[in-house]
A and B are shown apart, each in its own frame.
Chain A
């Protein structure tokens, strides 16, 4: 590649990167400014000092409606929802994918097509029936209700991920293990699952991001003490007690986004690898 082309390429990439980083920059700098500094300075100005006051307030004392305990309770609600929901939906997806590729039965392809349909179904469609179902299950307005919703809604995509990954694992592997005397679960644990790291990572990140960032189900199905962080953030930003505290809002928004960023940071390389790589051969 010629030097000039390379120069143009990098310039374009740099501009694109800046474009994406700018909001991040504004949020970060604003969150460590004091209200005085925000009022008197420009939006893009570099902070004169670093004040963590807004962060503290956003975490445990900002008002979200009538209650003034910051994002903390919402954050832990989200953790309590996300962890079991991600684990359960990933496990179910793995088992489903395994059955749909390696233990096909009459009608398994039809079931898979129906699941595919679930991936593209608009979320709004399920709101009413889901609320009815949760009522029957006695899980209305609870953390476990939201876990159930997220697991059910997640199964379609997790199954799709695992199925598409497992079709590339040769069937002969399962046949060989069957002849060796391993059964359904042993083959899964000892042979299939150890080959699944990339797709587990993909599913994990996908599900974590989706569930952590979910707002719709969080608003509709949560009770007063099971609201997830997205709802908390919304309430915090919309609760006006006189002045709008931009620094607190920004700090709260970053807190809400940190876990997903963290996950990408830790497991992101697997994401790309898992999406591009098929199962290991040989």
Chain B
């Protein structure tokens, strides 16, 4: 396992800046997730780490070596690609041993490694098959086997599960997590799926337009999003963004909320006084769906007319309108009302966040 440091890395293709100064530090053995919408430069960053492209400026450090000028094969890394990139003309065995052959590992050693890896991934019975004779999940395993045979200091995964169907994806996700716990190798894992990001990562870097929007643990990212983009990207269903105005309320400040004829003030806790400058101004209030729940019978409540409901099994998503904006609430199925009925809601505002509507930066 190796540490990875990316220092102010920039990359442009033909004058177009794709990565605009990326800084990331990963400790040995950590599982780093790069997450962001398609086209934000995740694969480009992976290719830079792997050495398949050269950086325009900045530094990449693997272990204690600056690897900017080290060719890919000498960087002590292995990569699993989205399309698996298995060699179609070679059988599974050859696919796994090709790299060792290139590195002149002796034959006995190759056999030993092949045996260990194929056992670990349960692909022993597939060794003589060509990639075209494998199912998607099996190809995925072989691709991982090829990477494992390398026994690298750093694993790179570029959207390895995005070509699998939903069920298989969940299975492989668990398997990758187990594998990481077993090998303790440092991993950089690209995905655009925020659930994968939350479940797998020790650290998450949220990317957009060539910038790191936020870098932190899954909890930090979820509970303390740095801006509206991160808040909206991580979490499913997404955080509710309610346009509102900061007003003075009894004992502090609050957000003005209208629902039909009703007019409420959601009290906000602001111990550091960050909202003082925003009194009377428009802001965006961010509240996650699970913070809106059904009120108990004896609890004060916000009574809202239900637009539609979406039962998911464990919860029912209830859609209402606040300040003219659609808001999703996560309600216990037994308490969920039907469309057109009134849902008695309560809201936990301790984790509510407030954004500047213009810059989308976090205020509270």
Q: Using CB atoms and an 8 Å cutoff, list the residues of chain A in contact with chain B.
A: 170, 172-173, 175-182, 186, 190-191, 194-195, 280-282
Give A226 Cβ to nearest chain B Cβ, in Å. 40
Q: Which of A178, A180, A282 interacts with B132 by CB under 8 Å?
A: A282
- Interfacial chain A residues near B103, Cβ < 8 Å: 181
Residue pair A180, B99 in contact (C-beta under 8 Å): yes
Contact A176 B102, beta carbon cutoff 8 Å: no
Once the chains bind, are B87 and A177 in contact (CB under 8 Å)? yes
Question: In the complex, what's the smallest C-beta–C-beta distance from B216 to chain A, in angstroms?
Answer: 29
Is the CB of B224 closer than 8 A to any CB of chain A?
Answer: no
Q: Is B102 a contact of A173 with CB atoms below 8 Å?
A: no
Cα A30 to Cα B132 in complex, Å, equals: 52
Which B51-66 residues sit within 8 Å CB-CB of chain A?
Answer: 52
Contacts of A172 in B (CB 8 A): 81-83, 85
| Chain A proximity mask over B52-92: 1 for CB below 8 Å, otherwise 0 | 10000000000000000000110001110111111111000
On chain B, the residues within 8 Å of A181 by CB distance are 73, 99, 102-103
Q: Which of A175, A180, A186, A195 contacts B81 (CB 8 A)?
A: A175
Between-chain CB contacts (< 8 Å), 20 pairs: A170-B83, A172-B81, A172-B82, A173-B88, A175-B81, A175-B85, A176-B85, A177-B87, A179-B50, A179-B72, A190-B98, A191-B89, A195-B88, A282-B84, A282-B86, A282-B88, A282-B131, A282-B132, A282-B134, A282-B139
Q: How far is the CA of A170 from the CA of B131 in the complex (A)?
A: 14
- Tell me the complex Cα distance, A178–B50, Å: 10
- The tally of residues in B whose CB lies under 8 Å from a CB in A reads 26
The answer to whether A280 and B52 have CB atoms under 8 Å apart is no
Contact B73 A173 (CB under 8 A): no
- Whether the pair A281, B88 counts as a contact (CB closer than 8 A) is yes
Residues of A within 8 A of B88 (CB): 173, 195, 280-282
Pick the contact of A194: B50, B77, B83, B89 (CB < 8 A).
B89
Which A-B residue pairs are the 10 nearest by beta carbons?
A: A180-B99, A181-B102, A181-B73, A172-B85, A194-B89, A176-B85, A280-B88, A172-B81, A282-B131, A179-B72
Nearest chain B CB to A224's CB is how many angstroms away? 48
Among A172, A179, A195, the most chain B Cβ lie within 10 Å of the Cβ of: A179
Given contacts A179-B99, A282-B132, contact A195 B89 (CB under 8 A): yes
What residues of B have a CB within 8 angstroms of the CB of A178 in the complex? 52, 72-73
| 0 or 1 for each of B95-124: is its CB under 8 Å from A? (1 = yes) | 000110011000000000000000000000
Q: A175-B47, A179-B99 are in contact. List 8 more A-B contacts (CB 8 A).
A: A172-B82, A176-B85, A176-B86, A178-B72, A180-B98, A180-B99, A280-B88, A282-B84
Whole-angstrom distance between the alpha carbons of A180 and B85 in the complex? 12
* B45–chain A nearest beta-carbon distance, Å: 14
Nearest CB of chain B from residue A105's CB, rounded to whole Å: 12
Question: Is there an interface contact between A173 and B85, defined as CB atoms closer than 8 Å?
Answer: yes
**Are B85 and A182 touching (Cβ within 8 A)?**
no
Q: Which of B72, B77, B134 has the most CB of A within 10 A?
A: B72
Query: Which residues of the other chain, A, contact B99 by a CB distance below 8 angstroms?
Result: 179-181
Q: Which residue of B lies closest to A196 (CB)?
A: B89
Residue of A nearest to B88 (CB): A280
Give the nearest-CB partner of B46 in chain A: A175
Alpha-carbon distance A190/B81, docked complex (angstroms) = 20
Q: Once the chains are docked, how many angstroms separate the CA of A281 from the CA of B47?
A: 22
For the complex, what is the distance from the CA of A172 to the CA of B86, rounded to whole Å? 9
A181 to B99, CA, bound (A): 6
What's the least CB distance linking B70 to chain A, in Å?
Answer: 12
**Set of chain A residues within 8 Å of B86, measured between Cβ atoms:** 176, 282
Q: B110: shortest Cβ distance to chain A, in Å? A: 13
- A235–B77 Cα distance when bound, in Å, is 67
Within 8 Å CB of A195, what residues of B? 88-89
Task: Please indicate the chain B residues that have their CB under 8 angstroms from the CB of A175 in the complex.
Answer: 47, 50, 52, 79, 81, 85
A170-B47 Cα distance, complex, nearest whole Å? 15
Within the complex, what minimum Cβ distance (angstroms) separates A205 from chain B?
A: 22
Residue of B nearest to A191 (CB): B87
Least Cβ distance of B89 to chain A in Å? 4
Query: Within the assembled complex, what's the spacing in Å between the Cα atoms of A170 and B84?
Result: 10
Return A266 CB to nearest CB of chain B, in Å: 23
Residue in chain B with minimal CB distance to A172: B85
* Minimum distance in angstroms from A156 CB to a CB of chain B: 26
How far is the CB of A230 from the nearest CB of chain B, in Å? 38
Option from B73, B84, B132 in Cβ contact (under 8 Å) with A280: B132
Which of A181, A186, A190 has its CB near the most chain B CB atoms (within 10 A)? A181
Q: Please, which residues of chain A bring their CB within 8 A of the CB of B72?
A: 178-179
Which of chain A's residues have a CB closer than 8 A to the CB of B77? 179
Q: Please report the C-alpha to C-alpha distance between residue A179 and residue B103 in the assembled complex, in whole angstroms.
A: 11
**Are B131 and A176 in touch, CB under 8 angstroms?**
no
Cα–Cα distance between A182 and B102 once the two chains are bound (Å):
6
- Contact between chains at B78 and A179 (CB < 8 Å): yes
Which residues of chain A are within 8 angstroms of B50 by Cβ–Cβ distance? Answer: 175, 179
CA distance A280 to B131 in the complex (A): 10
Smallest CB gap from A186: residue in B = B102
